[in-house]
Copies of this chain bind each other. A is one copy, B any other.
């Protein structure tokens, strides 16, 4: 078998997330697998670096797949042609047999976009969380400092499976502000279900003055979802890139 790594971007708006579901449910994985099967004539399973939720976008999702033969040079072009216009394969390369998009990943970067204007930009409206009003950026930056590092993030996830390890390391959180558009960039070794969206919701509540930056410490310590802020909507979230060694 030959092993391939691919980098994808997609507008998640129409899809019920990355992970394949039952018949008739539109997903990214399902759509890409079906297009590949149409080209290769045999069923292929692709493994994403992780699931993205319904409505979440990607600039650089990574998936791996094993196929029984060498792919043609123009396979990427043919696949893009077969895929709908809201999924694009940016890159395909042959990799060592040991590579796995999920298990080989060492870091992930997510970007979250917020529009604080009275009415969101007509062109970006499908790709932002609309959160009108003034936000204290320095308050949010202070709170982000408490989030960085290795913590048990069980307050920041909706995943209730008890045995799961909920410790993650956030390497960096950047917050950029420009003309009412606020961009949160999170880089870490991995993120729990809904974690980036709950982190963002909590930071927005801190930015709007409804919570103090220091509260992050007690939220982390509580290990209780109810202590954290609201879950920001899927449409503002982008899986930016996945790093490998």
Contacts and interface: CB of A to CB of B under 8 A. Distances in A.
Interface of A: 9-11, 57, 77, 80, 85-88, 118-123, 125, 127
A80 B125 contact: no
Oligomeric state, in number of copies?
2
Contacts of A86: 122, 125
Contact of A118 (B10, B11, B77, B127): B77
B80 A118 contact: yes
Given A85-B119, A88-B119, 20 more contacts: A9-B121, A9-B122, A9-B123, A10-B122, A11-B122, A11-B123, A11-B125, A57-B122, A57-B123, A77-B118, A80-B118, A80-B119, A85-B120, A85-B125, A86-B122, A86-B125, A87-B122, A88-B120, A88-B121, A88-B122
A157 to B, nearest CB: 27
13 contacts: A9-B121, A9-B123, A10-B122, A11-B122, A11-B125, A57-B122, A85-B119, A85-B120, A85-B125, A87-B122, A88-B121, A88-B122, A123-B127
Contacts of A80: 118-119
A57 B77 CA distance: 30
A234 to B, nearest CB: 15
Contacts of A122: 9-11, 57, 85-88
Contacts of A123: 9, 11, 57, 127
